Amino acid sequence: MISSTIMSRTCSSELVAIGIDVVEISKVRNLLSYGTRRVKRVFSSLELAIAGNAGKAAPPRASQCLIRRMAYTFAVKEAVFKSLGRGWGQGMRWSEVCAAREENGRWSVSLRGQALRRLRALGGSHVEACVSMAGNHAIAQAFIYKIPINKQ
């Protein structure tokens, strides 16, 4: 379900595209086990730093928090790719989509490189995302919006 926060915040924007992704949290846990050098091919330093803060909770929840956060982050990246109509293997790099949960619980998404150019080509101005979890799966939905010219 689209969160009411997103709907109210973007009611003056026009929806251009939607993407959704579901990822097994255990697969992200496995990915993280390959160490920082390899993980940095997928996640940005900012994403790792923010997730690292989540991982400062008292053990044993610490690692669970970190893994869940990174699973959400990965799902958001994939959902954004789908909303852009292009994915990994089609010119997009995971590092071009930076997804981070802010302190207020909102997810901010910033794009660069090919992903940003694709957003512009679609007429989009910004991307928003929301996440959820079901069992061992992290779920993310991404929304590309454009601001109508008369609202700019």
Partner 1 sequence: MANQSEVYEKIKTCLVEALGVDEEEIKPEARIMDDLGAESIDFLDIVFRLEKAFGIKIPRGGLFPDNILSNNTFVKDGKVTAPGLEELRKRMPYANLSAFEKDPRVSNFSSLFTVDLINHYVENMLK
Longest dimension (CA), the chain: 52
Q: Is 89 in the site for partner 1 (CB under 8 A)?
A: yes
Q: Is 78 in the site for partner 1 (CB under 8 A)?
A: yes
Return the bridge partners of 23, or none. 138
Q: What is the CA radius of gyration of the chain?
A: 15
Q: In the set 3, 29, 91, 110, which binds partner 1 (CB under 8 A)?
A: 91
Q: Is 112 in the site for partner 1 (CB under 8 A)?
A: no
Q: 33: exposed, middle or buried (C-beta count within 10 Å: 0-12, 13-18, 19+)?
A: exposed
Pick the closer one to partner 1 by CB: 122 or 147. Answer: 122
Return the bridge partners of 140, or none. 21, 131
Distance CA 81, CA 87 (A): 5
Candidate ranges 31-39, 44-52, 55-63, 141-149; the one touching partner 1 (CB under 8 A): 31-39
Q: Is 30 in the site for partner 1 (CB under 8 A)?
A: yes
Binding site for partner 1 (CB under 8 A): 23-24, 27-28, 30-31, 34, 38, 41-42, 74, 78, 86-93, 114, 118
